[in-house]
Chains A and B, each alone.
Chain A
Amino acid sequence: MSSATRKILVSCAATSGALAFLFIAPNIVCAVPPHVAEQTAWWVWMILLFAFSFVLGIFSVLAGVGGGVLFVPIVSGFFPFHLDFIRGAGLLVALSGALSAGPPLMRKGLADLKLGLPMALVGSISSIAGALAGLAMPANVVQLLLGVAIMFIAALMIKSRAYGTPDLKEPDALSKMLQISGIYHEESTKSDVSWQIHRTPLGLFLFMIIGFIGGMFGMGAGWANVPVFNMLMGVPLKVAVATSGLVLSINGAAAAWVYIFKGAVVPLIAVPAIGGIMLGSKIGAKLLTKVNTRSVRMIVIVMLVVAGLRSLLKGLGI
């Protein structure tokens, strides 16, 4: 059997698994009014949450998105926990994923501290504001806005085209002042790639907006960080992805404290979610070369659309 056929077969199996999980699991675990949830032992929910997060972890790596962005909309659609606790856990999921992936990426020069720190500074302040705003709003409004945001992310994933190493003629004055530029070693071509950036002021402004949205919905913001770094500011894709994790770890930490102090972080829910996503991400990384990632990306887009629709309907009280 050729490697292409094997990839297609594995992808088909993954697709069926994901769709079955998405469409059958809701009949088992969703539409859970409090009295039904109460009849189910707490540890059953924890095992389900761990398994669910584990699958999300695998898919998030294969689709090239952070676990946080999938976690909040999907778990809020299918589990009995209030959105406050899911957002609190979602931030920690995004934070812990970024923390564990960070060291090797920084050592390879892919995650860049000088690029990430100014963005994280504005992003962390606005993520605190976003978390405060999100927790002050009625749950149905947040759910509705979350649905809109998720549909937007799905559309962005369909439309966006990343550039490996954007062709950039001249860095802007602010990036020169902030000494933002770098060199990383491209293993596929065995060569050093130097990079610089432009449109830094606009980038800073967008990172402020992204931080607010991330804090409000308790999502990781890799889906937005990467296009802004790569398509707007001209950061090479690998550096953009890696530095996005660095920014996320700082923004997530800032917003997480707001959720902690508001009592929206419950270890009973947060820890299995973190464990499941982290373990799933490791398996996903191993499967990366064996699976057709384009198909998986399509599955994730479908998952996001379904979760976004559910969130919209929940927000509208339907």
Chain B
Amino acid sequence: MSDKEKISQNIDKVQLVYARVLEMVSYVGIAFLAAGYLVYVLQLLPLSVPIDAIAGNWHLKASEMQQKLHTPAGWSIVSSPAELFKGDVVSNLSIYYLAMATLACLGFASVTFYREKNYLYTTIAVLQVVVLLVAASGLIQ
């Protein structure tokens, strides 16, 4: 038996599922991040806030910059479908995607734990999903 086969035998199935999902979402995330940034800085799409305005105010506190430039934050960046065609929104969405990557992994892990009848870890994984969903919903501010 090869070393690789020996290692896989010792590892929970759920861990392998988590790794597979993580790998997929990470690759997509890195590509999305790079593409989104190029679209943004090369201004291939119109911007909701000009780059110079951001650069001229990045010494301010986040709340002060928001107040001054009326920059949307959180999910309000996609207040209408037209916003999806703005360079800075695309770049922001690539970051949101990255922040949601673990959510996808945990979702799949919860299902696999449940199928394995491991109810303790199903509960822990579901609770973790809830915590991340609450954070991503912007309910806690």
**A residues engaging B (CB < 8 A)?**
34, 37-38, 42-43, 45-46, 80-82, 84-85, 88, 92, 95-96, 99-100, 102-104, 106-109, 111-114, 117-118, 120-121, 124-125, 128, 132, 135, 139, 177-179, 182-185, 187, 190, 192, 249-250, 253-272, 274-275, 278
9 smallest A-B Cβ distances: which pairs? A42-B55, A106-B19, A263-B73, A267-B91, A264-B62, A257-B135, A84-B62, A103-B23, A261-B74
Check A92/B95 contact, CB under 8 A, given A113-B12, A135-B62, A249-B102: yes
Chain A hits for B136, CB < 8 A: 257
Chain B hits for A99, CB < 8 A: 22, 25-26, 29, 98, 101-102
Minimum distance in angstroms from A204 CB to a CB of chain B: 12
Q: Is the CB of B121 within 8 A of A121?
A: no
Of listed A42, A120, A258, A263, residue having the most chain B CB within 10 A: A263
Chain B hits for A80, CB < 8 A: 58-59
Minimum distance in angstroms from A214 CB to a CB of chain B: 14
Chain A hits for B127, CB < 8 A: 121
Give the interface SS of chain A, mostly helix, strand, loop or mixed: helix
A95 to B30, CA, bound (A): 12
- Closest-by-CB residue of A relative to B106 is A250
Count of chain A to chain B residue pairs whose CB atoms are closer than 8 Å in the complex: 201
A108 to B94, CA, bound (A): 29
Known contacts A92-B95, A103-B26; 13 additional CB pairs below 8 A are A88-B62, A102-B26, A106-B18, A124-B128, A192-B6, A257-B136, A258-B135, A260-B95, A260-B96, A263-B65, A265-B92, A267-B40, A271-B36
Q: Is the CB of A42 within 8 A of B51?
A: yes
Q: Tell which of A124, A250, A253, A260 touches B74, judged by Cβ atoms closer than 8 Å.
A: A260
Give the interface SS of chain B, mostly helix, strand, loop or mixed: helix
Interface digits, B55-90 against A, CB 8 Å rule (1 contact, 0 not)? Answer: 110111111011000010110000000000000100
Check A121/B124 contact, CB under 8 A, given A106-B19, A114-B12: yes
Q: Is the CB of A185 within 8 A of B62?
A: no
Q: Is B132 an interface residue (CB 8 A)?
A: yes
User: Can you list 21 A-B contacts (CB < 8 A)?
Assistant: A34-B59, A37-B59, A84-B61, A102-B19, A102-B26, A103-B22, A106-B18, A117-B121, A121-B128, A125-B131, A253-B103, A254-B132, A260-B73, A262-B63, A262-B141, A263-B65, A263-B66, A266-B54, A271-B37, A274-B98, A275-B37
